[in-house]
Structure 1
Amino acid sequence: METQTQTTVDRHRRIILFPLPYQGHVNPMLQLANLLYSKGFNITIFHTNFNKPKTSNYPHFTFKFILDNDPHDERYCNLPLHGMGAFSRVLLFNQFGADELRHQLELELSKKDEPSVSCLITDALWHFAQPVAVSLNLPRLVLRTSSLFCFLVYASLPLLNDRGYLDHSNDITTPLLDGLGYQHLSDNNHLEEQVMEFPMLKVKDIIKMGFKKANDVVGDVIGNMVKRTKASSGIIWNSFKGLEEPELETVVREISAPSFLIPFPKHFTASSSSLHEQDRTFFPWLDQQPPKSVVYVSFGSVSQLNEKHFLEMVHGLVDSKQSFLWVVRPGFVDGSTWLEALPDGLMGERGRIVKWAPQQEVLAHKAIGAFWTHSGWNSTFESVCEGVPMICSPFWGDQPLNARYTSDVLKVGVYLENGWKREEITNAIRRVMVDEEIRERVKILKQKLDVSLIKGGSSYESVQSLVAYISSL
């Protein structure tokens, strides 16, 4: 890990960073901020009051809270919108945030007693920031918090819609947009067919993303994200060349803006940006477990299961006879505060359940043998960074794409693509814990990543290029 005291240039240039206010987006943005600070830049963070980070963990940054500061602003009083869950804030801020963002940027640009602003870096989903930045003649780079592969699929949504892949109302029960529930697919052989444009995907993977049409409200946000990412001054990806080289070649060919692939987990941990209290009391227990003997289970900060599927998880874990560390976030089981649905005495002494954990430290622990994940990109990439094979249970959005890429392209995990069935869960856990080919492949990926970080390696050079590029703006 790099330290925050490193400096390679004078701290006379300032960068304004603006993350989306959700855990999976805050983590990489603040890791990027730490990295840029370590290279000598002055850092200002724009953030909403909603899900605001613990600023005391970042005394070296300046925080400005914007967009939702007025408690009487009727646009934000009744969030979340019906049926839209967490995504409602993305929709509303993109719709109404331009004037305030422009005002705040004008204030920052006019300050004479602070370093000049080199650029604005926003989450790619803040697509409204692009025309604002252009109007102020301020270069805007974007941080894309999912994979290059996901971006290419998202860029193809209009084509996939024209081909009829998104119109399967009789084939699928679509979950709420905040990830509630697992999408249940009907028994339809068509869903198992390959997608012509992306042969590694099945039709059901496209449907599981949760877009009813490319031009629905969510599809509209994605479409604008793609369009304005392409129009930006640069794209920063949480990835590395050896992981997604074919996709990188396509991105470089089709987008004129430069791309910078940086594996943030290898530079800074995300523990300081956690929006949840982290439990560390389990580490003495974990330290006592044999190497590669424990299954780590965590489904992120938003996903939710009903009680029936939760119990299938419980039985699948218990029946696997493997030791496990399971993060069960309060509210993870729909209708429960925490563990009310857990049968008394069923878990025994084999496992530990906590409300939240410092994930990167857990994945790096010698006792961890597999990661059962919702296949969010941060979790997927952190697992690759630590050489841990995966069991994949995606919910919506990019997660089905990441799960398929993990299992069928990288071949470093098993995709539980038929929902929550205890027998399949048990079999997947047992397979991943003993499959030497899967373990060897993920070990090789980790080695490639480690080599890329050495001077002259692709990830090392990407950081250098990003620093030089921002310094030239």
Structure 2
Amino acid sequence: MTSAPAQHRPHILLVAAPFQSHVNPLLRFGRRLAAKGLLVTFTTALRVGIRLGPGDGSSGRLRVEPLRGCGIWAPDDPRFRVAGNMARHVEAAGPAALEELVRAQAEAGRPVTCVVANAFVPWALRVAGELGLPRGMLWLQSCALLSVYYHHVHALAAFPEAGVAPGSVTLPGLPELEFEDLHPLLIYAPCQDLWRQMLVADLGRDRETMPPWVFVNTFHELEHATIEGLGEHLPVIPVGPLLEPDDADDDDDHGCTAWLDARPARSVVFVAFGSLVNNDSDEVAEIAAGLAATGRPFLWVVRDDNRALLSADALCFRDDDRERGMVVPWCAQGRLLAHPAVGCFVTHCGWNSTAEALAAGVPVVASPRWSDQRINARFLVDVHRVGARAPTPLTRDALRERVEEVMGGPEAEAMARRAARWREKARAAVRDGGSSDQGVQAFVDQIDKLHAGEPH
């Protein structure tokens, strides 16, 4: 069956905040939509350091068109390095640049049918509304966190107050959450905090003005109780886990795949803390010593901006001695986690990393830092029982002990079996006809009907 020409297909414009952890899931969602025949354009204020992944050019059904002009900073502008400055700049310059992009797409014969923005770019949904375009939002984190924020923004539950006696809150479909699980979430940030203001703009609308499509990077089997509990107030569409495609390019993996190929099954400790966590020099030294003490091979991702913290004697092996371990500045984390040689993932528990660990079936050592990471760690360790909790910052003894607990302790095999079951459930969710695939297909069907009613 031959597909209709791209210009006659519905056109979805995806708008992301310029953070790698925001870009990745939205691009992956775009690939899912493109695979079902929609024309998809992805845009963000592109900056140095943002990786768009394999095959994301300006041709075919998935196109990349960075926001340009209207005062948008050049990708190498040093002001992009400060997250708050970047967000304020994009919020100020982004609307005009987005309007210009929508006009340019129409002039090129690709009129936009619908705009989908990730959370924390409320200005994109505002622009779409002003242009009369249907809107959707992709929530990048767990449905649990979405429920926490939504209940707080709309005062649907009594949350513990900061600085008073310890307290907790129980929300539909979630375990009881203590103040330590919730802090430091944006609900405790000052009202003038930029990110809090964006969150309220995203979620503070009444049901009539919320985007009709609220997608969540999760899957029904993982968070069914939370999804159902939130559904009374905010029907959400699980479309995850939004992971890297199986055919992701190996060319830029710094030899990680070949190194893992030579390691025994479930033998490697994989350590990565995402694109934003900065370990200080003391913690880097503790991690290095802790990895050495495990006696296990390891793959450690140390970003270029943190690499100077690796002292000459921080690691107990020479740079050219790769039998013991590898230190790399970047890797395709989701794909390497799924390698059979990986037996444990030491993680900050960001949602992308959490979803990737579950989808890969890898037990974790959880060392959360901020935002949703403590709630994610709570689910991984206490609810799903696929890991052990470590202190923050990490110490050498704690790291060694938790790695041993996860990889060789009395509960290690049970953790591995539970993790493997989550891997199968995650894969089933995104297969044709799976729970998340059904959500994507339902949206595509609605967009097709919407597009059919438009003049060509």
TM-score (norm 1): 0.81
Q: Distance in 2 between matches of 1:212 and 1:14?
A: 39
Deviation at 1:413, TM superposition (A): 1.6
Larger RCO: 1 or 2 (CA < 8 Å, sep 6+): 1
User: Does residue 460 of structure 1 match 2:437?
Assistant: yes
Deviation at 1:62, TM superposition (A): 3.6
Deviation at 1:433, TM superposition (A): 0.8
More deviation in 40-49 or 59-68?
A: 59-68
Deviation at 1:114, TM superposition (A): 1.6
Q: Distance in 1 between matches of 2:306 and 2:152?
A: 30
Length, aligned pairs only: 431
**Could you tell me which residue of structure 2 aligns to residue 319 of structure 1?**
293
Counterpart AA for 1:86: A
Deviation at 1:262, TM superposition (A): 3.0
Structure 1: gaps of 5 or more residues = 1-5, 169-189
> Where does 1:369-384 land on structure 2 (aligned, <5 Å)?
369-384=343-358
**Could you tell me which residue of structure 1 aligns to residue 19 of structure 2?**
22
**Could you tell me which residue of structure 2 aligns to residue 183 of structure 1?**
none
User: Does residue 238 of structure 1 match 2:217?
Assistant: yes
Task: Show CA shifts across 1:117-163 (max 9, x none).
Answer: 22011112111122221121101111111111111122244559974
Residues 287, 367 of structure 1: 8 Å contact kept: yes
Q: Given the superposition, is the C-alpha separation of residues 287 and 22 from structure 1 closer, same or farther in structure 2, using an over 3 Å criterion?
A: same
Q: Distance in 2 between matches of 1:270 and 1:68?
A: 34
Deviation at 1:211, TM superposition (A): 6.0
Task: Show CA shifts across 1:337-395 (max 9, x none).
Answer: x6336536457742111111121221111111011111111111111111111111122
Counterpart AA for 2:79: L
**Could you tell me which residue of structure 1 aligns to residue 125 of structure 2?**
130
Q: Given the superposition, is the C-alpha separation of residues 366 and 32 from structure 1 closer, same or farther in structure 2, using an over 3 Å criterion?
A: same
**Could you tell me which residue of structure 2 aligns to residue 57 of structure 1?**
55
Counterpart AA for 2:240: I
Q: Distance in 1 between matches of 2:366 and 2:315?
A: 27
Residues 33, 440 of structure 2: 8 Å contact kept: no
Deviation at 1:77, TM superposition (A): 7.4
Q: Distance in 1 between matches of 2:313 and 2:285?
A: 7
Deviation at 1:56, TM superposition (A): 8.2
User: Does residue 262 of structure 1 match 2:240?
Assistant: yes
**Could you tell me which residue of structure 1 aligns to residue 79 of structure 2?**
79
Percent identity, aligned pairs only, is: 27
More deviation in 315-324 or 151-160?
A: 151-160
**1:427 maps to which of 368, 377, 401:** 401
**Could you tell me which residue of structure 2 aligns to residue 140 of structure 1?**
135
Q: Distance in 2 between matches of 1:78 and 1:283?
A: 33
Residues 130, 228 of structure 1: 8 Å contact kept: no
Residues 17, 29 of structure 1: 8 Å contact kept: yes
Structure 2: gaps of 5 or more residues = 451-456
Deviation at 1:300, TM superposition (A): 1.0
**Could you tell me which residue of structure 1 aligns to residue 454 of structure 2?**
none
> Where does 1:345-356 land on structure 2 (aligned, <5 Å)?
345=316, 349-356=323-330
User: Does residue 46 of structure 1 match 2:20?
Assistant: no
**Could you tell me which residue of structure 1 aligns to residue 332 of structure 2?**
358
2:221 partner SS: coil
Q: Distance in 2 between matches of 1:15 and 1:237?
A: 17
**1:440 maps to which of 417, 422, 433:** 417
User: Does residue 116 of structure 1 match 2:111?
Assistant: yes
Q: Distance in 1 between matches of 2:205 and 2:332?
A: 34
Task: Show CA shifts across 1:167-193 (max 9, x none).
Answer: 58xxxxxxxxxxxxxxxxxxxxx76x6
Counterpart AA for 2:40: I
1:444 partner SS: helix
Q: Given the superposition, is the C-alpha separation of residues 114 and 68 from structure 1 closer, same or farther in structure 2, using an over 3 Å criterion?
A: closer
User: Does residue 89 of structure 1 match 2:60?
Assistant: no
Q: Distance in 2 between matches of 1:367 and 1:417?
A: 26
2:276 partner SS: coil
2:289 partner SS: helix
1:143 partner SS: strand
1:408 partner SS: helix
Q: Distance in 1 between matches of 2:346 and 2:234?
A: 34
**Could you tell me which residue of structure 1 aligns to residue 366 of structure 2?**
392
Deviation at 1:200, TM superposition (A): 4.0
Q: Distance in 2 between matches of 1:102 and 1:332?
A: 38
Deviation at 1:289, TM superposition (A): 1.2
Residues 391, 398 of structure 2: 8 Å contact kept: no
Residues 387, 415 of structure 2: 8 Å contact kept: yes
Counterpart AA for 1:204: E
> Where does 1:266-285 land on structure 2 (aligned, <5 Å)?
268=245, 278-285=252-259
Task: Show CA shifts across 1:39-93 (max 9, x none).
Answer: 11122222213245559832324433326663789xx978369xxx324322332
More deviation in 413-422 or 351-360?
A: 413-422
More deviation in 26-35 or 345-354?
A: 345-354
TM-score (norm 2): 0.84
Task: Show CA shifts across 1:79-114 (max 9, x none).
Answer: 369xxx324322332345334433432443x43x52
More deviation in 17-26 or 443-452?
A: 443-452
**Could you tell me which residue of structure 1 aligns to residue 67 of structure 2?**
66
Q: Given the superposition, is the C-alpha separation of residues 54 and 388 from structure 1 closer, same or farther in structure 2, using an over 3 Å criterion?
A: closer
Task: Show CA shifts across 1:253-284 (max 9, x none).
Answer: 2115x52423222x725956x9xx93332333
**Could you tell me which residue of structure 2 aligns to residue 295 of structure 1?**
269
Residues 94, 128 of structure 1: 8 Å contact kept: yes
Q: Distance in 2 between matches of 1:293 and 1:358?
A: 19
